[in-house]
Amino acid sequence: MIASLLYTSTAAANIDSGDVFAIIEASARRNPSRGVTGFLIYDGREFLQYVEGPQDALDILLSQLAEDRRHGGVRILHRAESPTRLFPKWAMRRAGQGAEEELAVISRTALPSAMMAELERFGSRRKAA
């Protein structure tokens, strides 16, 4: 089984777009060896990330996130398990403004309904901001 989780966190006050791209690039480099795939959405204030892979790799990722000073207040919204990956080719993708193709792919996946509802809520907050 493939474990997955969806979480949010609050960006540090001094984070900029370069920091966000550095996060994505580092994740895309490290995740293949960990067996982790997923995407990251940043709305200028918060991150929303979906990751999937072996449970032990996700546990390690969560412990590393807790120590990352670029954000805080990590809150796990949902956990799930499935027999297959939803994003097998996405070592880590940025989704959000300027990433409409990725957002369209996400909207067509079979994410658990609770996770999809959180994504939609996050998207509506982003548009209202």
Q: 26-73, pLDDT tens digit by residue?
A: 888 999 999 999 988 888 888 888 999 999 999 999 998 888 888 889
Instruction: Report domain extents, the chain.
Output: 2-128
pLDDT of residue 124: 62
In whole angstroms, what separates CA 75 from the centre of its chain?
A: 12
Q: What is the CATH number of domain 2-128?
A: 3.30.70.100
* Cβ atoms of 52 and 87 closer than 8 Å: yes
pLDDT of residue 45: 84
Beta strands 71-82 and 46-53: pairing type? unpaired
Helix-helix angle 55-67:17-34, to 10 degrees: 150
Q: Is the dihedral of CA 110, 115, 121, 126 positive or negative?
A: negative
Give the separation between CA 84 and CA 45, rounded to whole angstroms. Answer: 32
pTM: predicted TM-score of the whole model, two decimal places: 0.83
Q: Would you say how long the chain is, in residues? A: 129
For the record, the structure tokens of 123 come out as: 């998207």
pLDDT of residue 129: 40
